[in-house]
Chain A
């Protein structure tokens, strides 16, 4: 049987991971010289508090042995693996997973780059899961993978630029470094990198714009779709956005999740977003 392996930056409902027996390899949260396993040593509720308190918080890719051990365990049971990870252009996790595969020297593993983050990455994993259940072979899934990736979009807005600036992973944030004026950018993922989609002034304006963009994308595509609502410490605002969108849009499936720490460290409290998974006909 084919098992799915992900890293802890993958945002899907907790029950989903359990139900589908998806193995999660935790990223590490680094506070000074100390490391904590994301989602294991630190749960998402504690994470927000830590993020607000701790100035020197960053994430780090899982070390090689974490991959090797998980992979070996699965293979020894006679299963094979599709290992899907957070965008390789934003994290070393994908690269490490590839190296771990090479260490084990096996053809029982496919390591794939989701080119996405959070719930965007989650939707890609979900689709692969569905295809595995449908009985598609690893090879068949591999050929479809690029298309699966291209069907997912994510848009999110930040309430503060402090974290994205400090984290340094949004390259074109450079143009955003304003000394005085407060702005609320809307970001998306493009070619595996977080990019600025639009710059907005005013939190309400940016939430309204986010909702407008999502609606527009869905109307344009004329496809069936699924939605994910993600936030970090912005539950109330997210609920409002969600109710507003669900009153005019009919997704086939939707879920809400607190943003995983991998994105959270860079997005900061108040981050809020929507991922769209356009379905095949």
Chain B
């Protein structure tokens, strides 16, 4: 058996570093633990480079001196957690390697064991599923293979194989990796380093079964949840068809099937997408799938409490989902959902406790009826408007026990006032006040304000009549009939009238109501 000398270790280290350099971005992408700042690969490389500089500086005479240089350089240049841990591995290895002229592969394997043990000790609270676990796996299996009498090359190769398996198991050991759907970045960095080093041992291609290095998905919230396939009949060729296409999304595929064009796209707004192609030809078939739904189901454990909200309007639905609503039941004024609609939503949620937000006086009763019809515990919060649901769900601590949560929500709701601005559909009398058909009306509780100028002026009249404290948050949700520009102008007006309030504006997308305004 040949002994390993200083040139071997220098060459090994150089090739290993080069491999880390080549796959730096892959490693960066995975970085979620302990801090997802996406720099594990960069940090590791900088640490290794500092070692290389040290080797070049001292011109070592034997393998012990190479090891000393690597150790010193990495200690001085260690960046980030994974860099620090690498430096500790080298430091531990150096205990075995220093003062040696040449070493046997067995001594190399022993030094790795020493290195890993040093790294474990250096970290205050060692966590499994990280570079520690992965490096331990390599050191252990390399040592055992050598002990079994396998050749250096064979032992190292088998250890790489084993290490790759360990790396793949890291998500099982560390839940944050699993949530993000990645293996550990530092662990991959170590593996890549060792794979690079293998080139100094063998000409054999490391059969690298590719380790999936997709970008860490930290929050299983898809940016472009809708998977849309459109079949279109058009005179245009692909290039002209896509000429002014500028929608946000990914995975665009445009293909021709005889005289039809098939478009595949992931988007956050399928209506706009459909709208685009509708203008380019005649739509034959549209298929929309919400991938978020699948993701949610896959990752859904049973929840302590589930939330059902009645709502109408694309913007409102989005905000409600954001705020934590599990199921939305379509409905509102003039379109009340049935008890069955609400019941179905309750049953769809994987939770034994359900809180229902009817968000309309006329829906409260049908919501209450569901209590008799399900095994689940259903509590109905008598919300009269969607903003009440949005605000309470946004700020509530969702870890509270159900009873406390309900109490909290009811307290929050007391502090929210809602004004709804719409148009009168007939001549009517309200609290003795005559309201003509076509008048704009703003309703707050049992007060009503009317004018025939514009929805905005009517809203302002009502706001001026309410006592609004400085510092109040005024949230304006504009309806489907209001253009964004117009809503923004309205917001500016309100800002001038109430300069000491916070004003926020969102698209509610609701029908019938020009504006729904909440004060809290």
Contacts and interface: CB of A to CB of B under 8 A. Distances in A.
Contact of A63 (B35, B78, B502): B78
Given A88-B124, A202-B504, A179 B221 contact: yes
B36 A180 contact: no
Chain A, interface residues (CB within 8 Å), range: 35 or more
B76 A177 contact: no
Interface string A174-207: 1101111111000000000000001111111101
A65 interface: yes
B75 A64 contact: yes
Contact of B502 (A99, A169, A205): A205
Interface string B489-520: 00000000000111010100000000000001
Given A177-B221, A180-B319, A181-B319, A201 B471 contact: no
A103 B221 contact: no
A63 B80 CA distance: 9
A168 B218 contact: yes
B391 A201 contact: yes
B411 interface: no
A5 B507 CA distance: 52
Interface string B153-186: 0000000000000000000000000000000000
B293 interface: no
Contacts, number: 100
B216 to A, nearest CB: 10
**Closest 7 A/B residue pairs (Cβ):** A202-B473, A204-B471, A168-B36, A202-B502, A178-B322, A199-B395, A180-B319
A103 B471 contact: no
A233 B198 CA distance: 52
Contacts of A207: 471
A182 B504 contact: yes
A95 B127 CA distance: 14
A78 to B, nearest CB: 26
Main secondary structure of the interface of B (DSSP, over half): mixed
A65 B39 CA distance: 21
A102 to B, nearest CB: 8
B81 interface: yes
Interface in B89-141: 122-124
Interface in B269-327: 315, 318-319, 322-323
A176 to B, nearest CB: 10
B390 interface: yes
A63 B473 contact: no
A179 B322 contact: yes
Main secondary structure of the interface of A (DSSP, over half): mixed
A208 interface: yes
A174 B502 contact: no
A10 B84 CA distance: 23
B37 A64 contact: no
A4 to B, nearest CB: 21
Given A178-B323, A199-B394, A201-B520, A208 B471 contact: yes
Contacts of A168: 32, 35-37, 218
Interface string A74-97: 000000000000001000101110
A58 interface: yes
Interface string B25-41: 00000001001110100
A181 B394 contact: yes
B322 A180 contact: yes
13 contacts: A60-B80, A63-B76, A64-B76, A92-B84, A179-B221, A181-B506, A183-B395, A200-B395, A201-B395, A201-B473, A202-B473, A202-B502, A205-B473
A30 B504 CA distance: 34
A201 B218 CA distance: 24
Contacts of A167: 35, 37
B219 A174 contact: yes
Contacts of B376: none
Contacts of B42: 33
**Residue in A63, A167, A183, A208 with the greatest tally of chain B CB atoms within 10 Å:** A63
A108 interface: no
A218 to B, nearest CB: 22
Contacts of A96: 78, 84
A81 B145 CA distance: 47
Contacts of B475: 201
A254 interface: no
B79 interface: yes
A110 B218 CA distance: 37
Contacts of B398: 175
Contacts of A99: 84, 88, 122
A166 to B, nearest CB: 8
Given A58-B37, A88-B124, A182-B504, A204 B218 contact: no
B151 interface: no
A98 interface: yes
Contacts of B504: 182, 201-202
Contact of A92 (B80, B318, B390, B471): B80
Nearest to A171: B176
B54 to A, nearest CB: 12
B39 A58 contact: yes
**Residue in A92, A169, A174, A202 with the greatest tally of chain B CB atoms within 10 Å:** A202
A99 B37 CA distance: 23
Given A63-B79, A199-B394, A204-B501, A179 B318 contact: yes
B77 interface: yes
A266 to B, nearest CB: 10
Contacts of B87: 64
Interface string B185-219: 00000000000000000000000000000000011
Given A33-B42, A181-B390, 6 more contacts: A64-B87, A178-B323, A199-B394, A201-B391, A201-B395, A205-B471
